[in-house]
Amino acid sequence: MGRAPCCDKANVKRGPWSPEEDAKLKSYIEQHGTGGNWIALPQKIGLKRCGKSCRLRWLNYLRPNIKHGGFSEEEDNIICSLYISIGSRWSIIAAQLPGRTDNDIKNYWNTRLKKKLLGRQRKEHQLARKSGLVKQDIIKRSGGVGGNSNSHSGILAADGQNSYWPELPVLAVPTVLPQQQQQPCFNDHASIRKLLIKLGGRFSSNHDTNQATQDSSTDIQPTYQVLDDNNNIPYAATAVTPTHQMDEHYSGKNMQSLLVPRHGIHALNSPSAPVALSNIDVISPHQFAQTHYMVNTDNIDGAGNGIMHNMFQGQGGNYVTDQLKEMAVYNNNNTNNQQRFDGMEFLYGDEMMIMNNRIVSSYGESIGWGEMLGCPPVASSSDDYNAGMDRLMPAAPVQECGFANDQLMSSYPGAPL
DNA sequence: AAACGCAGCAACCGCCCGTAC
DNA sequence: GGTACGGGCGGTTGCTGCGTT
């Protein structure tokens, strides 16, 4: 059944907004708010516009504190990191960048970042061809699945060099897939994400491509925790952003406002990425497994306590909270796995499917979530989970594990409800 | 100087989801 | 439980300005 249009298209004005229209809309909303009904709003103020159009105009342009253009390197990195994690969910990405709108970020991605990425990819490809044999040898010696200790590398490299993105574990997939011998095709999210992973997320011009090709597979770097004065782990942007390069928003006095509140959202046992839930799984498969699902949503205060409020002010606390809750639990739903797995093929090759919670590759192998991500496959309780994580990452402290609720804890992939 | 092509961005479109009835 | 409706979102379109030929 079709839907009735939200407005009479014949009688509404379309196209660019005039200053007069802007002024009308802005002054009305500032005085009266939206009244909870965008459809009725234009009639109230005598605008011949569709309600949806008014909403967009307000959200993307007239709303206070909107920033346009001038994206920083840090913002680039955050956008790319989140793109890897969650794909083109621009509204969630926008929630991480104060003053940015989803539309702005979407446009920026489509018109600039993607091209920037392509430019780097060409360089990478040339270098990869030169160093391909050497790299394979190093991967072989470094141990492959599980035994690869670089899978929980940290925010900063041991030598103090920036490691914008933590390294990803090298999985025991065929080292060179047929597709990888060709120029990648960037016609879908998955391909772009694969490239992002391959590049290690380094978009900064001060990162030369040599560095990029090396540290994605060869460096074994210690983990650094960035803690605040109260031994809390600050905002997850540190995972993608060296502390000394963080912009003012994420550093110094503002850092305090970004701290995860006690008993709030916590990334469990995440050595390098203390990930506030909203940052989801910015980084490594370890973190993808852990931070994505280990969420004590009971303690998320949608009304805006602590980090949630500070990060999402103006976004509607409950909205973001709900988004995050959704992400925290989705993996319990097999039907969602396929959708959510889109773009994660980089973990196990291009051809794969999910059968009974196991990922089956085109190579006839089957691994569980936990195995694939280097995590305990099943945690039936918080103790089990912690034990498993201790085994895997003994050096990584558990910060404020929010195990107030076993149900949410069990949303770890493969865990029982 | 004119024509053309391209990049950037604002706005629109259509679908999905949550909610009220 | 089914339907209608509004809000929200991601994808796409089309306009504008700038650079190149």
Residue A211 has pLDDT above 50, yes or no: no
Residue A60 has pLDDT above 70, yes or no: yes
Domains of chain A: 8-64 (1.10.10.60), 69-138 (1.10.10.60)
Which residue carries 């309600």 as its tokens? A51
Residue A311 has pLDDT above 80, yes or no: no
Rounded to the nearest 10 degrees, the angle between the axes of helix A189-199 and helix A73-86 is: 130
Instruction: Using the structure, give the distance in angstroms from the CA atom of A106 to the C1' atom of B6, rounded to a whole number.
Output: 19
Asked whether residue A9, judged by its CB, lies under 7 Å from any atom of the DNA or RNA strand B, the reply is yes
Q: Which residues contact A52 (CB under 8 A, 6 or more apart)?
A: A6, A7, A38, A39
Q: Which residue has the higher pLDDT, A138 or A101?
A: A101
Instruction: Using the structure, give the distance in angstroms from the CA atom of A114 to the C1' atom of B8, rounded to a whole number.
Output: 14
CB count in 10 Å sphere of residue A343: 22
How confident is residue A129, by pLDDT bands cut at 50, 70 and 90? Answer: low
Radius of gyration of chain A (CA): 23
Q: Full-prediction pTM beyond 0.85?
A: no
In sequence order, the β-bridge partners of residue A352 are A361
Nucleotides of B under 7 A from a protein CB: 7-16
Instruction: Using the structure, give the distance in angstroms from the CA atom of A187 to the C1' atom of C1, rounded to a whole number.
Output: 41
Nucleotides of C under 7 A from a protein CB: 3-12, 15-16
Token digits for A332?
A: 């319990």
How confident is residue A414, by pLDDT bands cut at 50, 70 and 90? Answer: very low
Distance (Å, rounded) from C-alpha A280 to C-alpha A327?
A: 8
Asked whether residue A90, judged by its CB, lies under 7 Å from any atom of the DNA or RNA strand B, the reply is no
Q: Which residue has the higher pLDDT, A126 or A369?
A: A126
Instruction: Using the structure, give the distance in angstroms from the CA atom of A72 to the C1' atom of B16, rounded to a whole number.
Output: 33
pLDDT in tens, A350-401: 333 333 333 333 333 333 333 333 232 233 333 333 433 333 333 333 332 2
Q: Which residues contact A365 (CB under 8 A, 6 or more apart)?
A: none
Asked whether residue A7, judged by its CB, lies under 7 Å from any atom of the DNA or RNA strand B, the reply is no
Q: How many residues does chain A have?
A: 417
Asked whether residue A57, judged by its CB, lies under 7 Å from any atom of the DNA or RNA strand B, the reply is yes
Residue A79 has pLDDT above 50, yes or no: yes
